[in-house]
Amino acid sequence: MTLTITKQAETYLETLAEALEIPPSRYEQAEKSYKSLGDWLHRDDSTVSHLDPDVFVQGSFRLGTVIKPLSNDEEYDVDCACSLEDLGKSNLSQAQLKELLGDEIKLYRKSKGITKKVHEGRRCWRLDYADGAQFHMDIVPAIPNGNDLRRLLEARNLDAAFADTAIAITDNEVLPQYFEITNDWPRSNPRGYAEWFKSRMGEVFERRRAQVLNEMRAKGVTASVEDIPTYRVRTPLQSAIMILKRHRDTMFADDPKNKPISIIISTLAAHAYQGEETIGHALLSILSKMRDAIEYDGQKYIIRNPTDALENFADKWETHPERADAFFTWLEQAREDFASAGRLVEHRRMSSVLAERMGRDLTDQVSDTVLQPTRSGASGLLGAATAASATSAPNVSFSDAPRNPKRPDGFA
């Protein structure tokens, strides 16, 4: 397939991706929140401190693919896991682990003066922050599962390169195992997935991370390359995923049950990415190849977890075939929309083509920005991120209005 994109469309899509980026302070706010919980779990009188609790962020905040909500009424979903490193499946049931960690999270809530209750979801506990903060944190209880996953994969001659960071998680809809002490737990591997995702960004990521480091040092910030989190580096793959997520959100605003989940979009996009240096070429190339990593065995579609080939991210498509139809309909629409925009040279016409699927407020904002004779804003890859990182993250605050956790619809 021949990919055609004008220089003007490249500029437009670059500006579109920038408009979708969240402020670096949001990432710092999320980081401050989960580290605060980690400190609480390690305090002297913690009931789990002797179990070596490890709290870490996962999902889009870890991958650097968070986008601004469609409206101010929506919240950022900060997905975290808390692994009790010195526990194993033979020590307790999923229900006992969730209760053990839940008791500590409830005490944490009280220690912060939060009047609203912690809510239990299918796999997680949720802490809701104040409306001004505009985010909530979902904490998934977990225990290490690296050795078990490695044995499982190697016994089937499957790739176990990312197995060591795997975790076993709780799920109160998996019955009767949820209440039993058993080796049969749901599996996850957010750290392994993030490493795989980083490997797909390849040399582009390494070069841009080095550039960020040089910019930081030029501003007098002492840091090493390992100190730079993924979200501070913006690659064409990350930007393309952000654009695709907004296109998906707008297209399925009235049909949230069938909208393609983020983990599927991120996985297929990462498979399809071939190291393109610009956002426009990356986006069009990804869209042309997104189906390549989808298998079909004659009965069901399979999108394998790259860190656990036994997990199928499209498992719900078998029982809900309308979701498979929705994905392929969305993919064709995205191909048509961005191919049409990519051939244009007038930014206003690009906005007209994309307005219905990306939101007119967003496309008008992008048009206004690219048509300015001199674009204001940050220079280099760091931009506002460096300036924001020099200041402390906003104070954590909490809301009193109850909010029930929803079922996760994809963590990337």
Instruction: Indicate if 71 and 152 belong to the same structural domain.
Output: yes
Range of the domain at 366: 7-21+193-389
The CATH number given to whatever domain includes residue 102 is 3.30.460.10
Q: Confirm whether 382 is domain-assigned.
A: yes
| Region at 251 (left for phi over 0; alpha for psi -120 to 50; beta for the rest) | alpha
pLDDT band of 400, cuts 50, 70, 90: very low
Q: By three-state DSSP, how is residue 316 classified?
A: helix
Q: Confirm whether 411 is domain-assigned.
A: no
Percent of the chain with pLDDT over 70: 89
- In this predicted structure, the answer to whether residue 378 has a pLDDT above a threshold of 80 is no
Structure tokens at 207: 């070069």
Instruction: Indicate if 125 and 251 belong to the same structural domain.
Output: no
Instruction: Indicate if 265 and 225 belong to the same structural domain.
Output: yes
Boundary (domain end) residue, out of 189, 213, 229: 189
Instruction: Indicate if 364 and 221 belong to the same structural domain.
Output: yes
* Residue 356: its H or E element: helix 347-358
pLDDT in tens, 150-206: 999 999 999 999 999 999 999 999 999 999 999 999 999 999 999 999 999 999 999
What pLDDT, on a 0 to 100 scale, did the predictor assign at position 1? 54
User: In whole numbers, what is the pLDDT of the chain averaged over residues?
Assistant: 88
**Which residue stretches of 164-235 are H helix?**
190-218
Q: Confirm whether 408 is domain-assigned.
A: no
How many helices (H) and strands (E) the chain has is answered by: 14, 11
* DSSP category for residue 405: P
Instruction: Indicate if 106 and 14 belong to the same structural domain.
Output: no
Rounded distance, CA 316 to CA 322, Å? 10
pLDDT in tens, 234-293: 999 999 999 999 999 999 999 999 999 999 999 999 999 999 999 999 999 999 999 999
Instruction: Indicate if 235 and 370 belong to the same structural domain.
Output: yes
- In this predicted structure, the answer to whether residue 398 has a pLDDT above a threshold of 60 is no
Query: Which residues make Cβ contacts (< 8 Å) with residue 220, sequence separation at least 6?
Result: none
Boundary (domain end) residue, out of 163, 189, 215: 189
Identify which has the larger pLDDT, 34 or 391. 34
Boundary (domain end) residue, out of 189, 213, 240: 189
What is the Cα 153 distance to its own chain's centre?
25
| 165 within 8 A of 238, measured Cβ to Cβ | no
**Number of folded domains that form the chain:** 2
Rounded distance, CA 244 to CA 410, Å? 14
Instruction: Indicate if 150 and 296 belong to the same structural domain.
Output: no
Instruction: Indicate if 149 and 244 belong to the same structural domain.
Output: no
What pLDDT, on a 0 to 100 scale, did the predictor assign at position 130? 60
pLDDT in tens, 71-94: 777 778 889 999 999 999 999 999
* Residue 126: its H or E element: strand 125-128
pLDDT band of 216, cuts 50, 70, 90: confident
What pLDDT, on a 0 to 100 scale, did the predictor assign at position 375? 45
Percent of the chain with pLDDT over 90: 73
